[in-house]
Structure 1
């Protein structure tokens, strides 16, 4: 397979994975797979949460396609598709786990309008702690935060997390 064709397959896969991720997040993770994803909508204690198993689950097709294409004589395009799935996973990890949820320490502050919008949209997704009623299921594309806030208000803020109690006593 010509490298340019492979590169097009790779890019199409990365872009297509956003659609797949939206569907999986909205109808699987917030549906039958809530038993794993619920841990992600609660405060995390420790380094891991049950939701992290989704990374393993979604890595299996990537690994299988790369392995099959390289070692089992499958169509060479499967290698590029597998790489595209893996690249989306890496982008997802960097954005979602590192930048938004700060699972690795960093001092990054978003400056671009895009990064501010996507981070705010994801935080608005997390104000709802229940299986239903949340907004914004994409990871690399999201509606305007104003639209998401309006939708939460329209739903009468059903499932929205109660404010965290803060201590009024000053630190010594």
Structure 2
């Protein structure tokens, strides 16, 4: 039970980490890497923005490594929470919203449509200033209205 609570707590906490990182790091100090993500699309498989995948994956890999050294300790479940959030982020951001993979093109689910709307509002700003909707899995309820 404690392991599940650690996993769930970390998963939920990652939305806060994502919001803060997106607003203050990606739209701040590391804008150079994130800027191409806010520009009209061109035909390339990868963006500079994809570097953030490696940045976020590294702590999970390290925590998994140390979390299995003496059996599965709490570090393993922290890593599992981070990794599961990362997978959900990938499915929502890269697959559903940006259609980098054409898997869920015509969803009518209010929650998923709301996520798309909020992210579209975020992308209406092509520069790092004046951004809004920095979260990924939890966005303001006003975007869920169809």
TM value normalised by structure 1: 0.78
The answer to whether the 8 A contact 1:68-1:74 is kept is: no
How far, CA to CA, are the matches of 1:105 and 1:145 in structure 2? 23
Equivalences for 1:1-172 in 2 at 5 Å? Answer: 4-45=1-42, 46-71=44-69, 73=70, 76-143=73-140, 144-145=142-143
Q: Which consecutive residues of structure 2, in runs of 5 or more, have no partner in the other structure? A: none
The answer to whether the 8 A contact 1:9-1:77 is kept is: yes
The answer to whether the 8 A contact 2:96-2:104 is kept is: no
Q: Deviation digits for residues 94-128 of structure 1, max 9, x if unmatched?
A: 00000000001235322222111111000110011
- The alignment covers a number of residue pairs equal to 142
Higher helix share: 2
The answer to whether the 8 A contact 1:69-1:77 is kept is: yes
Structure 1 residues 107 and 9: alpha-carbon distance in aligned structure 2, compared to 1, 3 A threshold: closer
TM value normalised by structure 2: 0.91
Q: Which consecutive residues of structure 1, in runs of 5 or more, have no partner in the other structure? A: 147-172
Structure 1 stretches of 4+ with a deviation exceeding 4 A read none
How far, CA to CA, are the matches of 2:119 and 2:48 in structure 1? 19
Q: Which of 1 and 2 has greater Rg?
A: 1
Q: Give the CA deviation at 1:74.
A: 9.1
Q: Give the CA deviation at 1:43.
A: 2.5
Deviates more, 1:57-66 or 1:113-122: 113-122
The answer to whether the 8 A contact 2:118-2:133 is kept is: yes
